[in-house]
């Protein structure tokens, strides 16, 4: 009915777009109900944006509910400054054809509804805040470790944007002295993403990460580098929790291993994390799991309507 909002949610990734049509009470904060879902491969911008639009047209027609708003959580980098003429665009991505794509504008023009737009990781962080593992927290970090490494920051009760948006995967961390791997980031070589993303693990060990068994040195090194980066986030942002998603990040046992090493990386300097196990679950998997990004996109749309 018309007391409900119908939300078209897009989790726009470099390899696939996940699409969800949701319905939520216009009054606000309960978790939206999913009416339809699909996943399409990310090809060229024009083809991908159009296919996603066609899905929503058809799904809304079948549901008998016109779309009220779009919510998009996108791979980046993206322009988020509301006053910029480039707002809602993908900016300097090395992904062929995608630099300069006006993603928000496409759906605004085609459907004539408002569009909420943020990074995929900020969207996921927002969903975890509303309905997942970060409820009640004012300060936390959501990182995803998979094809790339990225992070959303919730600080003082708000998503952080600023100059552009946080890029937690591209910080440089101290290398292990015996690590000869050069790193694969096209911008920085051995930033965190260059050393510890899924493709970095694959290149370093010449194996699909999913096929590397528990107990292999790969996972010790992975946990070490992630803990080292998280120690830096702790020192700068003082988060109350770290949620770690993504295909690699959600590997069973990894969050626990990283959690134990964060205190060691801080050498006891932060009392709350001074010894392993003192703050169990400080690094954990997102409660919404792989749904966090899509639900977060829906939440951004919902928030735009409620405001
Ligand atoms: Zn980098």
Q: For residue range 96-137, what is the model confidence (pLDDT) as tens digits? A: 899 999 999 999 999 999 999 999 999 999 999 999 999 999
DSSP 243-276: EEESTTTTSTTHHHHHHHHHHHHTTT-SGGGSST
Q: Which of 231, 303, 214, 226 is nearest to 266 (CA)?
A: 231
- For residue 171, how far is its CA from the centre of ligand 1 (angstroms)? 7
- For residue 211, how far is its CA from the centre of ligand 1 (angstroms)? 25
- For residue 1, how far is its CA from the centre of ligand 1 (angstroms)? 47
Question: Is the CB of residue 294 less than 8 Å from the CB of residue 18?
Answer: yes
Distance in angstroms (rounded) separating the CA atoms of residues 10 and 19: 5
- For residue 169, how far is its CA from the centre of ligand 1 (angstroms)? 7
- For residue 304, how far is its CA from the centre of ligand 1 (angstroms)? 32
Q: For residue range 130-178, what is the model confidence (pLDDT) as tens digits? A: 999 999 999 999 999 999 999 999 999 999 999 889 999 999 999 999 9
Q: Locate 6 and state its tokens.
A: 């119908």
In this structure, which residues have their CB less than 5 angstroms from ion ligand 1? 170, 185, 187-188, 191, 193
- For residue 207, how far is its CA from the centre of ligand 1 (angstroms)? 22
Length of the chain: 307
Distance in angstroms (rounded) separating the CA atoms of residues 97 and 203: 25
Distance in angstroms (rounded) separating the CA atoms of residues 250 and 64: 37
Question: Is the CB of residue 75 less than 8 Å from the CB of residue 293?
Answer: no
Average pLDDT over residues 272-287: 85
- For residue 194, how far is its CA from the centre of ligand 1 (angstroms)? 6
- For residue 149, how far is its CA from the centre of ligand 1 (angstroms)? 9
> Per-residue confidence at 94, pLDDT binned at 50, 70, 90?
confident
């Amino acid at each position: 009915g018309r007391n409900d909002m119908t939300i078209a949610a897009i989790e726009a990734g470099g390899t696939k777009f996940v699409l969800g049509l949701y319905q939520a009470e216009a009054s606000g904060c309960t978790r939206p109900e999913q009416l339809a879902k699909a996943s399409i491969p990310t090809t060229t911008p024009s083809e991908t944006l159009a296919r996603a639009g066609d899905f929503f047209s058809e799904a809304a027609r079948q549901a008998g509910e016109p779309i009220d708003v779009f919510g998009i959580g996108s791979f980046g980098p993206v322009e988020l400054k509301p006053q910029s003429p480039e707002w809602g665009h993908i900016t300097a991505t090395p992904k062929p054809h995608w630099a300069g794509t006006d993603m928000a504008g496409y759906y605004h023009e085609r459907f004539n509804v408002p569009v909420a737009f943020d990074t995929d990781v900020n969207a996921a962080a927002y969903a975890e805040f509303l309905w997942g593992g970060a409820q009640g927290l004012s300060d936390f970090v959501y990182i995803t470790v998979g094809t790339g490494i990225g992070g959303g920051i919730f600080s003082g009760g708000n998503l952080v944007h600023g100059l552009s948006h946080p890029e937690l995967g591209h910080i440089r961390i101290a290398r292990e002295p015996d690590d000869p791997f050069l790193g694969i980031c096209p911008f920085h070589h051995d930033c965190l993403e260059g050393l510890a993303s899924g493709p970095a693990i694959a290149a370093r060990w010449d194996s699909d990460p999913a096929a590397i068994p528990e107990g292999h040195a790969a996972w010790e090194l992975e946990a070490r580098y992630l803990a080292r980066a998280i120690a830096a986030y702790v020192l700068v942002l003082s988060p109350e929790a770290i949620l770690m998603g993504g295909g690699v990040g959600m590997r069973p046992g990894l969050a626990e291993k990283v959690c134990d090493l964060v205190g060691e990386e801080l050498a006891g300097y932060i009392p709350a994390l001074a010894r392993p196990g003192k703050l169990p679950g400080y690094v954990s998997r997102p409660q919404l799991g792989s749904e966090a990004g899509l639900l977060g996109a829906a939440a951004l749309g919902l928030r735009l309507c409620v405001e």
